[in-house]
Amino acid sequence: MTSTLNRLLETFARIGATPDGGVCRLTGTPEDGGARARLAAEIVSRQLGLLVDPIGNMFGVAALAPSSQEAVIVGSHLDSQPTGGRYDGVYGVLAGLLAVEAVAARAAAEPGKAKRNLVAANWTNEEGARFQPSLTGSSVFAGTLALDAALGLADGAGVTLGEALAAIGYRGTADLSLAPRRYVELHVEQGPLLEEKGVEIGIVIGCWAARKLSLVFHGEPSHTGPTRMARRRDALRAAARAIELHHCLVELGGSGAHASAARITVDPNSPNVTPCRVQVWFEFRHEDAAVAVALGDRFLAEARAAVASLGVDIEIAVDERRGTATLDPHGAALTAAVARELGFSAMEMKTIAGHDALALNKRMPASLIFVPSHNGLSHNPAEFTDEAALDKGLAVLTDVLWRMVTEE
Ligand SMILES: [Zn+2]
């Protein structure tokens, strides 16, 4: 028998569905608007107070303890990558909503127990696929990204996030006035560890560090036919050298780091002009921030040396360093206790992927709970977690939230 959670996931998987079984719901598109409208209806139908803030974050407020100015927040994101799966983000939003509903029902049945309020959230532009940087709505909420700067982020066509949100009716005016006490997020792991170890619940205690470098390779436009080879200053050839070098540094270095060069723009991108300006987004991720930084330094030095003979210069457009973080130890202890009581196996782990919980952890103690991802696949239409595993995550989340709203 399919649970309410899995039926809701089915419903949302049809919004922005792609022919290969995945979803594409980029921030501020009609598909994002459709998912938001459906979530708003689900919030209202559960008698929760619906709020939309100026960066489009959506909240469903359960006033469990009206005399309290505090709230525990639970949430994730409805936006997806272009090759998104059916669980990334939306699982945490829908499980969060159902957990809030269940905790509210229990609070009504046990009056006086709840000491603070509970809020279900959908954070804007977690993925950063259409607008960079990622984690936009949660960073604005955490106070680490200015609202005006966030609204002014432009996509590849020059449309700003503010314009895109207004176009779908989700540039709100409300603010969540309750003081956030704790945040909890439930998410699919997006990696292989839980499945490999046969463990049902991942208790995320911290995150890997990342260094993200966006480099611009400056060459010179010239005709691809008559220009002599030695005369060419080909920025794409230089970028190709750097990309291979970047991967080799990680593969041969034995550091255990992860590396990617996953986005590239080529100008003028004509078959008959040698590329004169190429921008590539590189990243290194490692458990130790110092290793990620050192890999970036070594890569920059070696890349400059490798492309010098091509007459190409490298400009650093972005050098973003994300440090490691420790998530809420109290939330981790509660999650471990609840998993034990419910009879689910659990293990502590670190997240390599970014999550809203990491952005929000800068303002409030934040917790992150994982369920297994089949084959570790994510950002892929074949992303899959079975129904029973999804329901176990919801069961853990619900009891963790109950404890957080009722404890002293
Ligand atoms: Zn996600």
How far apart are the CA of 363 and the centre of ligand 1, in A?
20
Identify the helix (H) or strand (E) that includes residue 31. helix 30-45
Q: Smallest Cα–Cα separation from 193: which of 40, 351, 358, 382? A: 351
How far apart are the CA of 362 and the centre of ligand 1, in A?
18
Q: Cα separation of 227 and 85, whole Å? A: 46
pLDDT at position 1, please? 67
CB under 8 Å, gap of 24 or more: what pairs does 147-154 form? 147/54, 147/55, 150/55, 151/54, 151/55
Domains and CATH numbers, the chain: 4-208+324-406 (3.40.630.10), 209-322 (3.30.70.360)
Q: Smallest Cα–Cα separation from 86: which of 394, 381, 386? A: 381
User: pLDDT averaged over consecutive 10-residue blocks of the chain (408 residues)?
Assistant: 92 97 97 98 98 98 96 98 97 98 98 97 97 96 98 97 98 97 98 98 97 97 97 98 96 91 96 98 96 97 96 97 95 98 98 96 98 95 96 98 97
Which residues have C-beta within 8 Å of that of residue 285, sequence separation ≥ 6? Answer: 208, 209, 210, 257, 258, 259, 292, 352
The first and second tokens of residue 259, run together, are: 């590396």
The first and second tokens of residue 196, run together, are: 């490999």
Binding residues for Zn(2+): 77, 88, 127, 187, 379
Q: Smallest Cα–Cα separation from 191: which of 368, 366, 71, 60? A: 368
How far apart are the CA of 81 and the centre of ligand 1, in A?
9
How far apart are the CA of 52 and the centre of ligand 1, in A?
20
pLDDT at position 224, please? 97
Q: Smallest Cα–Cα separation from 218: which of 278, 272, 307? A: 278
How far apart are the CA of 79 and the centre of ligand 1, in A?
8
How far apart are the CA of 269 and the centre of ligand 1, in A?
32
pLDDT at position 254, please? 86
Which residues have C-beta within 8 Å of that of residue 67, sequence separation ≥ 6? Answer: none
How far apart are the CA of 378 and the centre of ligand 1, in A?
9
Q: Cα separation of 388 and 6, whole Å? A: 9
Indicate the residue type of 14: R
Provide the pairing of β-strand 117-122 with 313-322: unpaired
Binding residues: 77, 88, 127, 187, 379
